[in-house]
Amino acid sequence: MELIHPIFKWLHVVAGIMWIGLLYFFNFVNTAFAPTMDADTKKKVVPELMPRTLYWFRMGAAWTWGTGIVLLYVIYWAGGMMPTDFTSNDVTGEPANMAIHFLLLFTFVAVFAYDALYKSPLASNVRAVTVVSFLLITAYVYAMQTLGGFEYRAVNIHLGAMFGTIMAFNVWFRIWPAQQKIITAIKNGEAPDASLLALAGLRSKHNTYMSVPLVWTMHNQHHVTAPTALGIPAEFSWLLPMVMVIVGWHIVFQLYKKSGTIKGF
């Protein structure tokens, strides 16, 4: 365990840099650059550039998620960072707190609720679906602390695991399949399907918005005393991750505004 921890954390960070770096390239650079190309330029550039960048994008996502699961097991599930009733008590025979296991399950199946939500009619109302998303995330975070007994660090890391799982799902099952068809159409001199462009763009934007609060959760061992330092009682420490979700989303919103103002020569 002592050897797995540093090696997989190193791989996790390297893969994460690859993934999130390309995510920001797509959203803050390429989104503004692509419309400046004419049809002939796109036909040459897109089929050569995008498959290469999307390869490293996909691999970065896969390795970040995979090494993250290993670290989650080593540090939290098997490392004594979970509530004491995470497993059944061998002395008293008391069963495990099933709320903990339900919450752990939800961490990884929430992606299907997310996907269904953004395929529903509600998704057409950006403000409403954003509010609903935030309330659902808040309920999950609140439940981890109050029902599952998760400490501050465990709350953070599982929120990050949920975001990371959704982001990796988007890369492999929504963005990449759509981009394959988009690239093929451009290579053949055809207009890409507008619905595929919208899907790939929306899910990439979602990943960008999740990425900034995700980074907060990933380095939460460095701010474990933050709630105390801010005067937040231990029972309300779950509020800090939710504040950071709001702050993170606002930072991304401002970065999108800035990216649209940067011009070429």
Please report the DSSP string for 99-165 in residue order. Answer: HHHHHHHHHHHHHHHHHHHTTSGGGGSHHHHHHHHHHHHHHHHHHHHHTS---HHHHHHHHHHHHHH
Rounded distance between C-alpha atoms, residue 227 and residue 235, angstroms: 10
115, two tokens: 């996907």
34, two tokens: 């692509």
State residue 88's pLDDT score: 54
Q: What is the DSSP letter of 234?
A: G
The CA angle 104-130-123, to the nearest 5 degrees, is 100
In the numeric block, the tokens 């999950």 are attached to: 140
Nearest in space to 140 (alpha carbons), one of 174, 120, 175, 113: 113
For the chain, the domains span 4-259
State residue 2's pLDDT score: 79
- Give 133-192 pLDDT, tens digit per residue: 999 999 999 999 999 999 999 999 999 999 999 999 999 999 999 999 999 999 999 999
What is the identity of the amino acid at 209? Y
Rounded distance between C-alpha atoms, residue 88 and residue 175, angstroms: 41
b/e per residue 25-41 (b: at least 16 CB within 10 A): ebbbebbbeeeeeeeee
- Give 39-81 pLDDT, tens digit per residue: 999 999 999 999 999 999 999 999 999 999 999 999 999 888 8
Nearest in space to 147 (alpha carbons), one of 95, 114, 104: 104
**Do residues 206 and 56 make contact, with C-beta atoms less than 8 angstroms apart?**
no
Mean pLDDT of 231-254: 96
Mean pLDDT of 187-210: 97
The pTM is what? 0.94
Q: What is the DSSP letter of 265?
A: -
Rounded distance between C-alpha atoms, residue 149 and residue 136, angstroms: 19
Look at residue 221 and tell me whether its pLDDT is greater than 90. no
**Do residues 193 and 159 make contact, with C-beta atoms less than 8 angstroms apart?**
no
Confidence category of residue 91, pLDDT binned at 50, 70, 90: very low
State residue 134's pLDDT score: 98
State residue 96's pLDDT score: 62
**Do residues 61 and 75 make contact, with C-beta atoms less than 8 angstroms apart?**
no
Confidence category of residue 94, pLDDT binned at 50, 70, 90: low
